[in-house]
Copies of this chain bind each other. A is one copy, B any other.
Amino acid sequence: MPDLRKDPIVGRWVIVSTARSRRPVDYKAFKSEYRYQVCPLCAGQEDKTPPEVLAYRPHGGLPNSPGWTLRVVPNKFPALMVEGSLDREGVGLYDKMNGVGAHEVVIETPEHRKTLASFSEKEFEDLLWAYRDRILDLKKDARFRYIMIFKNYGEPAGASLEHSHSQLIALPVIPTVVIEEMLGAKSHFEEKERCIFCDIIRQEIMDGSRLVAENQEFVAITPFASRFPFEVWILPKRHASSFQEGQKSQYEALAKIFLDVLKRLNKALMNPPYNFILHTAPLQDKASDNYYHWHFEIMPTLTQVAGFEWGTGFYINPTPPEEAAQFLREITIP
């Protein structure tokens, strides 16, 4: 009998197959085939991107020239435009506004064929600092209400460039997904005066069956109502609503656990395509400090989303998270 499991934060139901559950080998392996040797995101190609808004050059050097280890540039084909005012407008029944926002590409490495899972801890930590630096900079722009950071790795996960990169989109409205999470977390807080994410972390550490990795500052778990097989969330043990307000030691610890999780996924699922998304509180939202809890959600692309998911908002997950966690725990990382 399959389980119907409810996500305690947003109330979303997931059908978890328990009878014929799928192991890692049952998913089609993703063949990452590099088509190019070099691309506009590579070192030496700096003139092929818009001018950088941030770069780490450990040995110095001129902007928009080689020598960088990480570089952030505006997206050449942005989904939203950074210039302009919001101009909210009604069209009969409908609401619209100008598509004002920032859309940036975080070039994670100067090397065309280096994947995130093979980063050093220092390189990974720098990526987290870059996210933080960009959030702090864009936060000053009063038009923006939310900053969404995410990564699409591999074509099946929506990556259109093969060079390792993540993306940042600053939005003039708060995303629906974030609003739903906040409403769920708020209602839990109002009832119990506790953060629901803190409650989840406590229960998962005690239970252990969905624990993938843990260090002093973070836990990595396969959530109880995982939408996708081998979905992993990484949450800070210390309650905090916003990613950018962490201390140095936390980014170090996050780099360690994040890399560890990516290596495990990589080995268990043979280099799977994936998305990861930073869930953090809206900008200038002090009210949610008590009840919202930032975290990363990592979702390997192993199944397809189709009519059922579109129509219901529910998901069918053929690998119970307890089994996924066990597979991932048992991986040995050199």
Contacts and interface: CB of A to CB of B under 8 A. Distances in A.
Interface of A: 1-6, 8, 10-13, 15-17, 20, 77, 79-81, 84, 91-100, 148, 150-152, 157-159, 167, 169, 171-173, 175-178, 180, 196, 199-200, 203, 207, 224-225, 275-279, 297, 299, 304-308, 310-314, 316
Contacts of A81: 1-2
A189 to B, nearest CB: 14
B311 A8 contact: no
Contacts of A99: 1-4, 15-16
23 contacts: A1-B100, A2-B81, A2-B99, A3-B96, A3-B98, A4-B80, A4-B96, A4-B98, A4-B100, A4-B173, A6-B96, A11-B176, A17-B79, A79-B308, A93-B196, A150-B306, A157-B307, A177-B310, A177-B311, A177-B313, A275-B306, A276-B307, A279-B311
Given A79-B316, A92-B207, A177-B310, 4 more contacts: A4-B99, A8-B93, A151-B307, A175-B314
Contacts of A6: 94-96
Contacts of A148: 308, 311-312
A151 B310 CA distance: 11
Given A79-B316, A310-B277, A95 B176 contact: no
Contacts of A100: 1, 4
Contact of A312 (B84, B171, B199): B171
A92 B203 contact: yes
A12 B308 contact: no
B224 A80 contact: no
Contact of A306 (B13, B97, B152): B152
A2 B80 contact: yes
Contacts of A175: 13, 311-314
B310 A150 contact: yes
A76 to B, nearest CB: 12
A79 B312 CA distance: 14
B98 A1 contact: yes
A259 to B, nearest CB: 19
A97 B305 contact: no
> Which 8 residue pairs spanning A and B have beta carbons closest together?
A158-B306, A2-B99, A150-B307, A175-B312, A176-B313, A277-B311, A177-B313, A275-B307
Given A310-B150, A310-B275, A199 B93 contact: yes
A8 to B, nearest CB: 5
Contacts of A299: 310
A308 B307 CA distance: 20
B306 A225 contact: no
A6 B151 CA distance: 25
